[in-house]
Chains A and B, each alone.
Chain A
């Protein structure tokens, strides 16, 4: 604890905010914008010290989020200066929505795969092995599912006109059910 205090002793607000945002990015599984190399030039942290700070803030942000107030911050990270407390509070207030969204996604993932994207291609069949000229449109539909934090389980469908209509009516029915249930 004292070591962390020592490390943060003469760090400017801006650098602290950068560190905090990179921690939150890590929590949200986003692409990290700041790395150790960004901090190396403006602080005297070593790589290990940087890692310690990173993990420390990651755990404490989780706790602070339960009740974002200066008192809670001081309780979690005692010894922060008032400026730094304000920084942490700002960061937490701003990024609260992101973290909430992440938690929501995680709890959705419990109930099964989630549709991330869908992609389609329209194909025109000119002939088949049975008939020399068929001339029928075919829709190639790809559903990209997101399951257990793993991206990229694909479900591919090849539908002709009737099958596509069937699928659409089924989906519309489902949407209506969801709407009535919401009301």
Chain B
């Protein structure tokens, strides 16, 4: 009971009751304290009641307060009987029951005080939790009450429920007019196809659910294509830019070298067709220049000879113009021809250059062959002597070779042995190092595994620590649960003991039954035998009488013992009842009740006296 009292006092203190430290059980609660605590509890459960927090001095007001408290408790669903006496003339058991009921009814404190989350994920988790709570609280609806799996609420929010309307993202290829890309290339046939025969996008998909995914897919593809194009464009533009820069450079060079000889110019730019084209344009520029110079000359001529006839002048001019034009044409043709020949020649040159190394190689070979042949021809005239000389030379060289071989063998054998030894040692070392490397690798692997394991464990540890911290704030709870577990254990033990006792009593009963049965049987047996003898024998007749008295006496004795057992049990029951009654401390309560009654009577007397005096004074006034 102490545990329960502690819990009750703890929770009462938590809701703000002013309970002194030395009060540690409900036995020590005064009626004032009981009423105050009950009012606090009821205030929290039902704030609209508005009961006074302390006992009023007037007796009748006290009774009224007690009655209303009892009514409130009954309204909340208190299962037992209760009235004003439960609070005003309290006994321990009733008060305990009332407080247990009230504290159970208290709204859970934990629901109110949620730690404010910090950080984005925490907020997200909280929101998810709220939404889930909302969805769980809403009543179940059959699927045909939703439109497309969406449930709308009164406040305008909505949520998806069930999985009947989830659709996978599946698309198909779409065909859409490409007017933007083709611009100039939209021919009549394309136009007609797009306008008449190309189905609408909505008709191109096999299933209406594919429409949006297909559109998304199409857009994404076109964007990706554009990006890829823009990625490849820079290199192309560089390619375009480079020839342009080259062209400008070339043009400048050509202009600079315009004073140089023509052939030089041609040599300068004869590499590629593009350059030659450019060259032509440069040339035509030059011809224009020359035309200008001739025109200037003409002007000079006109100035120097002012007297000549205009016609003559014109003719001369025309002739000259004709001449120069012819010259220019000739010139152009000549240059074209020379250009062509230059191209041909340069091609030939390149080919010759390619052939050159091969030819040089052949030349070298031929020269070598020539030197050998020349020496043999030199030796030919004195053939015999030279032959013998050569033979001796061959022999000496052979001997030399043999001696060298012997020498080589001599050197070779120890070296070979040394080499073999070194090789063996090397292989030994290599295998040893291999072993060590293997060991190192295995160790490393093991270390990595261990570190992985450590990391996992650490993660788990941190997670558990976090969990533990989030839990550990409510230490009371765990203590209570531990105590509850202990109590349950005790109860189990007690139950076992009770079972044992019951078994014992059952066995005893069985034994008693056996014994009584045996007694009966032996008695009847003895009775019959002695009865048979009793007809003949006087002694037997006396024995029979004695047996009968013995039997009746013994049965009386057994009855007496049973009666005493029953009385003892009755006594025990009565004692328990006395204890219960004495726990209710009726005497003290009775005294208090009588004292309260006396007080009330006094109050009543005082009130009647006041009434009388008022009446008298009224009478006096009226008189």
As a 0/1 sequence over residues 582 to 610 of chain B, the CB contacts with chain A under 8 angstroms (1 = contact) are 00000000000000000000000000000
Q: Is the interface of B mostly helix, strand, loop or mixed?
A: helix
| Alpha-carbon distance A151/B463, docked complex (angstroms) | 44
User: Is there contact, CB below 8 Å, between A117 and B467?
Assistant: no
Report chain A residues within 8 Å CB of B173: 101
Partner of B213 from A14, A101, A117, A126 at Cβ < 8 Å? A117
Q: A89's closest neighbor in chain B, by CB?
A: B189
Q: Does A30 contact B (CB under 8 A)?
A: yes
A31, A94, A152: which contacts B203 (Cβ < 8 A)? A31
Smallest Cβ distance from A39 to chain B, in angstroms?
A: 14
Mark interface residues in B183-208 (1 if CB within 8 Å of A CB, else 0): 00000111011001101000111100
- A contact residues, total (Cβ < 8 Å): 29
Q: How far is the CB of B159 from chain A (nearest CB, A)?
A: 15
B170 touches A144 (CB 8 A): yes
Residue of A nearest to B129 (CB): A126
Interface code A89-112, partner B: CB below 8 Å = 1, 0 otherwise? 011011100100100000000000
- A132 to B463 Cα, complex, angstroms: 10
Interface residues of A in 23-66 (CB under 8 A from B): 30-31, 33
Which residue of B169, B175, B196 is within 8 Å of A98 (Cβ)? B175
> Are A142 and B204 in contact (CB-based, < 8 A)?
no
Take A117-B217, A131-B463 as given contacts and tell me if A31 and B169 are in contact as well, using a CB distance cutoff of 8 Å: no
With contacts A18-B197, A31-B199 taken as known, whether A117 is within 8 angstroms of B171 at the C-beta atoms is yes
Report how far A144 CA is from B214 CA in the complex, Å: 14
Indicate if the CB atoms of B467 and A133 lie closer than 8 Å: yes
- Contact partners of B205 in chain A: CB under 8 A: 31
Contact between B168 and A142, CB atoms less than 8 A apart: yes
Instruction: Given A33-B203, A135-B121, answer yes or no on A116-B168 (Cβ-Cβ < 8 Å).
Output: no
Task: Kindly list chain A residues whose C-beta atoms are within 8 Å of the C-beta of B206.
Answer: 31
Q: Does A162 contact B (CB under 8 A)?
A: no
With A21-B197, A30-B204, A33-B203 in contact, is A94–B190 under 8 Å at CB?
yes
8 A Cβ contacts from A1-23 to B: 14, 17-18, 21
Give Cα A14 to B195, complex, Å: 12
CA distance A153 to B189 in the complex (A): 39
Cross-chain contact B169 with A117 (CB below 8 angstroms): yes
Residues of A within 8 A of B128 (CB): 124, 126
Q: Would you call A116 and B121 a contact (CB within 8 A)?
A: no
**Across the interface, do B169 and A94 meet the contact criterion of CB distance under 8 Å?**
no
Residues of A within 8 Å of B124, CB to CB, are 124
A132 and B467 contact, Cβ closer than 8 Å, known pairs A30-B204, A31-B206: yes
Shortest CB–CB separation between residue B390 and chain A, in angstroms?
67
* Chain B residues, Cβ within 8 Å of A117: 168-171, 213, 217
Q: Which residues of chain B in 202-222 are interfacial with respect to chain A, using CB atoms and an 8 Å cutoff?
A: 203-206, 213, 217
Q: Which of chain A's residues have a CB closer than 8 A to the CB of B190?
A: 94
The interface of chain B, by Cβ under 8 A from chain A, is 121, 124-125, 128, 168-171, 173, 175, 188-190, 192-193, 196-197, 199, 203-206, 213, 217, 463, 467
User: Could you list 15 further interchain pairs (A-B, Cβ under 8 angstroms) beyond the known A117-B213, A144-B169, A152-B170?
Assistant: A14-B196, A18-B197, A90-B189, A90-B192, A90-B193, A94-B189, A116-B171, A117-B217, A118-B169, A124-B125, A124-B128, A142-B168, A144-B168, A144-B170, A154-B168
List 28 interface pairs A-B (beta carbons < 8 Å), by A numbering: A17-B192, A17-B196, A30-B204, A31-B203, A31-B206, A33-B197, A33-B199, A90-B188, A91-B193, A93-B189, A95-B193, A98-B175, A101-B173, A116-B170, A117-B170, A117-B171, A117-B213, A117-B217, A118-B169, A119-B170, A124-B124, A124-B125, A126-B125, A142-B168, A142-B169, A144-B168, A144-B170, A151-B170
Instruction: In the A-B complex, list the 7 residue pairs whose CB atoms are closest, starting with the nearest.
Output: A119-B169, A90-B189, A94-B193, A21-B197, A33-B199, A117-B171, A119-B168
